Amino acid sequence: MTSIREYHERTKHSVASIRSNQHFLDWDNQPLPFKIYVGLEPIPLPREFAPSAVPALSAIAMQTAAASGAPPLDLRLLARLLYFSAGIVRTKTYPGGQVMGFRAAACTGALYHIDLYLVCGDLPDLPAGVYHFGPHDFALRRLRAGDHRGALIEATAAESATAAAPAAIVCTSTFWRNAWKYQARAYRHCFWDNGTILANLLSMSAAEGVPARLVLGFVDAAVNSLLGLDTAHEVALSIVALGGGAHPCPGPAPPAPPLTLETQPLSAREVDYPLVRAAHAATSLQTAAEVRDWRAAAVAERAPTAPAAVPLQAMAQVPARSLEDVILHRGSTRRFSRAPISFAQLSTALRSATRGVSADFLATPSASLADCYLIVNAVDGLAAGTYAFDRERQALQSLKSGDFRREAGFLDLGQELAADAAVNWYLLADLDHILARLGERGYRAAQLESAIIGGKLYLAAYALGFGATGLTFFDDDVTAFFAPHAAGKGVMFLVAAGRPARRIG
């Protein structure tokens, strides 16, 4: 079996790997960006949304809402969470009449390979069942009738939030929809693109006062079977337990025979990347006992390892822009102007995005698997150079001073975006430490948490009035650039941020 460490090493980008790759995009065979069930009746979702009262930056910073006083989950609230996490928020018509729908969260290559499923008990205006969310027509389709939450509770080894939740959202990836462009590296993108969706979902849940907890420990085969997934092509990645309050504990789940539901073909032919399937198999959990043992190893807070030099700076007035408005106007900045942002803005984005995630692989929300490194090109009040972010002390440790625009441009595969950005945020993880503690599945956790932080940095940048974009990178060159501080760490995610060359909404 391919180990996850072997997968990570074999999918690293380097100058040599980029130059030797003969892959080309077969546009006639591009897969659909949707999973479309044939013959299932849609349940239309409400489309009218009023802004929430919680400012975007506050919602991004919240870890989770309290269970007491949580609003009841109903179709309108679920529609709101789904729309601002994975819905189509705008469209663009290209020459020739092709219409492209852009989603609420950033996605590698805009290929949108992540699907959301809802498993719920009886809600005020939605019967208990297992549902698929279709962004293409903003509707749910019921795959199974009845209350199947018990199956999730069993699969997660009775994880406490899952056991108490009236509903859960399960996120999946269809490999081919991303591998068409990115080949075997698509397995990394499963978690990158799931993470940006979860950044939206967790922030929106906090803004609405809905408790939400990320659950990564579950028996893979059981969840895949419940959703009726063909696991050679599509797999479950994560679960978010939604809602709180007094809810009857579900009894045993009703029978769930295999599903044989027809879906629209994605493309004329599919190219298989065995390395992706092997990586997923290596990180899968087989039994509830394995899930319990894995969760028992949840990572606790780590003490800072070096004195920090530059405390983060507070903003005199924090923008009150709503989260909904930020999501609707968020995009991937295609060109930065090289104009500076302020140190207070950078500090506010960092502080908001790194307050923590409520997840079953972290002992406390303040614990983290991700370490944030920065290349600062143009930040008023902060010297240009490289920094490591000390979460515990809320400060930046200076690593190297100087102008590193040229190096930043090289590290993001030679693109100008990172060179022109005001700041580049790199999320790195100590994979040796993580895999020793959490086993092979720790790789999923490291990638996913880093992507959630990256997604929140994305949102925070737009809430503060500047732009951002996610980029890929030369793996080992990034680690070497931040060495010796980052020695032995692997790069999980990269966000470039700064003033766009054109005005944003």
Angle at 368 between CA 481 and CA 241, to 5 degrees: 135
Q: Which two tokens stand for residue 390?
A: 């000390």
Q: Which amino acid is at 86?
A: A
- 233, exposed or middle or buried, with CB in 10 Å at 0-12, 13-18, 19+? middle
Q: Which amino acid is at 261?
A: L
Q: How far apart are CA 406 and CA 497, in angstroms?
A: 16
Residues 49-104: pLDDT tens digits?
Answer: 888 889 999 999 987 766 667 888 999 999 999 999 999 999 888 777 777 889 99
- CATH of the structural domain 310-498, one choice from 3.40.109.10, 3.40.630.20, 3.30.450.370, 3.40.50.1820: 3.40.109.10
Distance of CA 130 to the CA centre of its chain: 22
The answer, yes or no, to whether residue 259 has pLDDT greater than 60, is yes
**Radius of gyration of the chain measured on its C-alpha atoms:** 22
Strands 43-44 and 139-145: antiparallel
Residues 120-161: pLDDT tens digits?
Answer: 999 999 999 999 999 999 999 999 999 999 999 999 999 999
Following DSSP, what letter does each residue of 324-341 receive, concatenated?
Answer: HHHHHH----S-B----E
Model confidence band, residue 504 (pLDDT cutoffs 50, 70, 90): very low
Q: How far apart are CA 141 and CA 48, in angstroms?
A: 20
Q: Which residue from 388, 369, 387, 481 is spatially nearest to 430, judged by alpha carbons?
A: 369
Give the pLDDT score at 192.
Answer: 98
Contacts with 505 (C-beta within 8 Å, 6 or more apart), sequence order: 328, 329
Domain spanning 4-10+25-252+269-293: CATH 3.40.47.10: no
Give the pLDDT score at 244.
Answer: 80
- What average pLDDT does this structure show over 32-56? 93
Residue 336: C-alpha distances to residues 138, 383, 498 (Å): 33, 19, 6
Q: Which residue from 9, 2, 1, 146 is spatially nearest to 432, judged by alpha carbons?
A: 9
Q: Does the predicted TM-score (pTM) go above 0.85?
A: yes
Q: Where in the chain is CATH 3.40.109.10?
A: 4-10+25-252+269-293, 310-498
Residues 186-228: pLDDT tens digits?
Answer: 999 999 999 999 999 999 999 999 999 999 999 999 999 999 9
Q: What is the mean pLDDT of the chain?
A: 93
Give the pLDDT score at 396.
Answer: 97
More confident residue, 254 or 96: 254
Q: For residue 102, give the 3-state DSSP assignment.
A: strand
The answer, yes or no, to whether residue 362 has pLDDT greater than 90, is yes
Residues 313-349: pLDDT tens digits?
Answer: 988 888 889 999 999 999 889 999 999 999 999 999 9
The answer, yes or no, to whether residue 492 has pLDDT greater than 90, is yes
CA atoms 380, 385, 388, 392: torsion sign:
negative
Q: Which residue from 463, 199, 498 is spatially nearest to 342, judged by alpha carbons?
A: 498
8 Å CB contact between 215 and 159: yes
8 Å CB contact between 81 and 250: no
Contacts with 280 (C-beta within 8 Å, 6 or more apart), sequence order: 187, 235
Q: Which residue from 222, 221, 231, 229 is spatially nearest to 261, judged by alpha carbons?
A: 229
